[in-house]
């Protein structure tokens, strides 16, 4: 074997060893993956920041994105998440949403607004248990002259 062929053989062997290194080292990554995002146990609890309207009978339901000032669900989610991080932002968002609800004939049954983070058990949620396991209300305000 001449020197040129030997260099290519050593370089090729080094490349193969580098590619197999994650298997030996136990780390996940390119080019070999054990797909830990699918194979590792995950927490089944999901935290959702959202804006909820409460009616006079005490029932509560998440409000549609338009009342948060957007037509997009993901933008509404981010607006609620950002507000939940800061008490003043949560209070400001609550007041803006309450004003929009008060001006809407479609939402006449809503008497108060809550900016809150609810935690759900994801498995139970998809089995029909829609009640949050925990709730943290960041801001609460009334609609118009409601208590």
**Residue 99 clears pLDDT 90, i.e. is over it:** yes
Q: What is the pTM of this model?
A: 0.71
Query: In angstroms, rounded to a whole number, what is the distance separating the alpha carbons of residues 133 and 117?
Result: 11
Structure confidence at residue 143 (pLDDT) = 94
**Which contacts (CB < 8 Å, 24+ apart) does range 75-83 have?**
76/50, 76/51, 77/48, 77/49, 77/50, 80/49, 80/50, 80/51, 80/115, 81/49, 83/49, 83/51, 83/115, 83/138, 83/139
pLDDT for 103-115, tens place per residue? 988 888 999 999 9
In sequence order, what are the beta bridge partners of 119? 47, 134
Share of residues in the chain with pLDDT > 70 (%)? 89
The string of pLDDT tens digits covering residues 37-87 is: 777 788 889 999 999 999 999 899 999 999 999 999 999 999 999 999 999
Residue 125 contacts by C-beta under 8 Å, 6 or more apart in sequence? 46
Predicted pLDDT at 75: 96
**How sure is the predictor about 30, in pLDDT bands with cuts at 50, 70 and 90?**
low
pLDDT band at 145, cuts 50/70/90?
Answer: low
Check if the beta carbon of residue 132 is closer than 8 Å to that of residue 72: no
Query: What is the residue extent of each domain of the chain?
Result: 3-39, 45-142
């Amino acid at each position: 074997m001449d020197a040129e062929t030997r260099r290519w053989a050593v370089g090729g062997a080094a490349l193969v060893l580098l590619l197999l290194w994650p298997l030996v080292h136990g780390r996940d990554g390119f080019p070999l993956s054990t797909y830990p995002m699918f194979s590792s146990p995950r927490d089944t609890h999901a935290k959702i920041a959202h804006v909820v309207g409460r009616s006079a009978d005490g029932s509560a339901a998440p409000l549609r994105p338009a009342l948060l000032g957007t037509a997009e669900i993901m933008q509404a989610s981010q607006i609620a998440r950002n507000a939940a991080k800061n008490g003043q932002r949560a209070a400001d968002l609550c007041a803006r949403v309450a004003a929009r609800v008060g001006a809407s004939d479609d939402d006449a049954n809503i008497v108060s607004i809550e900016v809150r983070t609810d935690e759900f058990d994801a498995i139970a949620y998809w089995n029909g248990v829609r009640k949050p396991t925990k709730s943290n209300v960041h801001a609460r305000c009334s609609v118009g002259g409601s208590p």
